[in-house]
Amino acid sequence: MIKIHFIGGKSIEGKVYSIDPVTHSIVIQNDSKFSIINPENIQQIEGEIPSVPSEDVPQSITNPQALQGLEKQEARSLHQAEKKISEMNNRVSPEVQALFDRLNFIYPCVWSGDSIMVVDQFRIDPPYTAANATKLADVGNEESFNRFIKVLEGENKKRNKLKAVSSG
């Protein structure tokens, strides 16, 4: 049993379950609860930290197949985070970014400067209304463009309602 005191005054007591060799994080078990402790937040440790891993560490931690699954999950999460970052435009307001995010949920979108390119068929220029949406030449049909305009108008109505509610 050890007791860890954190910067800021809080503390936790329990058994050392595991120590991550990469991050040096300590996993503490207290009854059936587990806590992962970042070493940068530790002010003081009372008691001895075992140097030999516990024999009751589950086999799944050392199972190579489980590690491969974690590596795939990590790669997938990293790809998703990189995709989210690439979809951000710091030159537009948060409400315009929210509009982009909502449209991107429905249609694949990318930023082209301050314009939103939608499925490589439509472009929306500031101030991002239906009047500023254009169908790119010889791409897509009029019916799909009209459907997209309806979605854009609906999203702008929602945006304007939120604006009206938040301003008064």
pLDDT of residue 162: 77
Q: What confidence tens digit (pLDDT) does each residue in 69-117 have?
A: 778 888 899 988 888 888 899 999 998 999 999 999 999 999 999 999 9
Structure tokens at 139: 């791409």
Helices 142-167 and 94-106 cross at an angle (nearest 10°) of 140
Q: What confidence tens digit (pLDDT) does each residue in 126-139 have?
A: 999 999 999 987 76
Tell me how far apart the alpha carbons of residues 49 and 37 are, in angstroms, rounded to a whole number.
13
pTM of the prediction? Answer: 0.55
